[in-house]
């Protein structure tokens, strides 16, 4: 690959971030109607306005940095890179799933801005560093609002279900968790070989081993309910049939895309287990609640480990695209 300047690469990163915001806008436009709870709907509506700002600010930053006309034109409906794959992984058909999905997506955005900020620092683009930090703060605040609304999301999801069906709901959430862990295993099995930097590869390897145990614990709880994993669910979650590893391997800046995606995926899991714990509590299933609490803590630790590696991932990505040596 021919050597590139960091400024050129910055434009590419900005274009990726822009496509994430375009996707976020589509989500925020629909979310208030699906929320099923006034407080949750308000949180989405407020973030819709912020997201409109983000999209515009990133688009302006792109044109100020000399993104050519065809690039800018291309941006209008462009959904590439991270955003494409992040949106295929779940069908948010209940307030709970919607909240989990949005919580995860806000973390994808946080990862994207944390990485953009680092790229801007290397390009000594102070204005862009400040912009990335500012938007990142708003994404974090939104994810905190969503986390504070997990109770309402469960309440809204279960409102019309009779108490006698709670057991079945625990099973459904366990089956979702199983499907997510199955997807996680697929991703984590392939990730070390394409991570591009050993500490990131090691984080994926370790979490792969942990994920196996998590899935077994989930299977154990399904068994305790006389149920089994849903093959249909497991298959449906396979990110729209996409080969995740091949997808990331084909990205010119694989290490940061992979790290950012994995970080967001851990937050999909965190939200899933936070919801499961609440549903299990309502059903009086203390063992499932305990399993959910424990796994959620492990997912949080895995996410923390990944976000401790942004700097290294950025180094590796810049080498890979031919900017740094
Ligand atoms: Fe945003
Ligand atoms: Fe956002
Ligand atoms: Fe995980």
Instruction: Give the number of the ligand closest to the Cα of residue 264.
Output: 3
CA 20, 176, 239 angle in degrees (round to 5)?
40
pLDDT in tens, 174-217: 999 998 999 899 889 989 999 989 999 999 999 999 999 999 99
Higher pLDDT, 130 or 11: 130
Give yes or no for residue 323 having a pLDDT over 90: no
- Nearest-ligand number for the alpha carbon of 305: 3
**pTM exceeds 0.75 for this model:** yes
Ligand 2 center to residue 28 CA distance, Å? 8
What CA–CA distance (Å, rounded) separates 144 from 272? 15
Provide the percentage of residues in the chain whose pLDDT is more than 90: 62
Instruction: Name which of 25, 16, 206 is nearest 112 in CA terms.
Output: 16
Of the candidates 128, 22, 12, the one whose C-alpha atom is nearest the C-alpha of residue 68 is 12
Q: Count Cβ atoms below 10 Å from residue 69 Cβ, excluding itself.
A: 8
Query: How many angstroms separate the alpha carbon of residue 302 from the centre of ligand 3?
Result: 7
Q: In this structure, are residues 75 and 18 in contact, taking their beta carbons and an 8 Å threshold?
A: yes
CA-only gyration radius of the chain, Å = 20
DSSP assignment string, 204-243: HHHHHHHHHHHHHHHHHHHHHTT----HHHHHHTTGGG--
CB atoms within 10 A of CB 278: 21
| Residues 11-53 pLDDT 10s | 888 988 998 998 899 889 989 988 889 999 999 999 999 999 9
CA of 246 to the centre of ligand 2 (A): 27
Q: Tokens 């997510």: give the residue.
A: 180
Alpha-carbon distance of 289 to 154, in angstroms, equals 14
Angle at 302 between CA 272 and CA 123, to 5 degrees: 110
Q: Of the candidates 204, 229, 210, 203, which has an alpha carbon nearest to the alpha carbon of residue 218? A: 229
Distance in angstroms (rounded) separating the CA atoms of residues 181 and 158:
23
What pLDDT, on a 0 to 100 scale, did the predictor assign at position 92?
66
Question: Which single residue is written with the structure tokens 């915001």?
Answer: 21
Q: How far is the CA of 169 from the centre of ligand 1 (A)?
A: 32
Tokens representing 266 are 């851990």
């Amino acid at each position: 690959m021919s050597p590139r300047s960091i400024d050129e690469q910055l434009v590419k990163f900005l274009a990726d971030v822009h496509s994430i915001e375009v996707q976020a806008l589509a989500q925020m436009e629909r979310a208030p109607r699906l929320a099923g709870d006034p407080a949750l709907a308000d949180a989405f509506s407020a973030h819709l306005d912020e997201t409109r700002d983000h999209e515009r600010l990133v688009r302006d930053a792109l044109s100020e940095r000399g993104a050519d006309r065809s690039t800018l034109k291309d941006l209008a409906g462009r959904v590439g890179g991270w955003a494409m794959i992040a949106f295929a992984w779940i069908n948010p058909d209940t307030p709970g799933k919607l909240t989990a999905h949005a919580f995860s997506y806000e973390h994808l955005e946080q990862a994207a801005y944390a990485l953009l900020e680092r790229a801007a620092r290397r390009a000594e683009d102070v204005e862009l560093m400040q912009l990335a930090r500012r938007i990142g703060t708003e994404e974090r605040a939104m994810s905190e609002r969503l986390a504070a609304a997990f109770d309402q999301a469960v309440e809204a999801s279960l409102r019309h279900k009779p108490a006698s069906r709670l057991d079945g709901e625990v099973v459904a959430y366990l089956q979702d968790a199983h499907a997510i862990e199955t997807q996680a295993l697929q991703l984590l099995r392939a990730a070390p070989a394409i991570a591009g930097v050993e500490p990131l590869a090691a984080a994926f390897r370790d979490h792969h081993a942990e994920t196996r145990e998590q899935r077994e614990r989930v299977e154990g709880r399904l068994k305790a309910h006389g149920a089994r994993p849903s093959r249909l669910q497991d298959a449906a979650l396979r990110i729209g049939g996409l080969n995740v590893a091949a997808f990331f391997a084909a990205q010119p800046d694989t290490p940061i895309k992979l790290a950012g995606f994995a970080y967001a995926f851990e937050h999909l899991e965190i939200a899933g287990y936070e919801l499961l714990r609440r549903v299990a509590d309502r059903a009086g299933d203390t063992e499932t609640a305990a399993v959910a609490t424990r796994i959620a803590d492990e997912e949080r630790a895995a996410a923390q480990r990944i976000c401790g590696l942004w700097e290294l991932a950025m180094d590796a990505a810049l080498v890979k695209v031919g900017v740094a040596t």
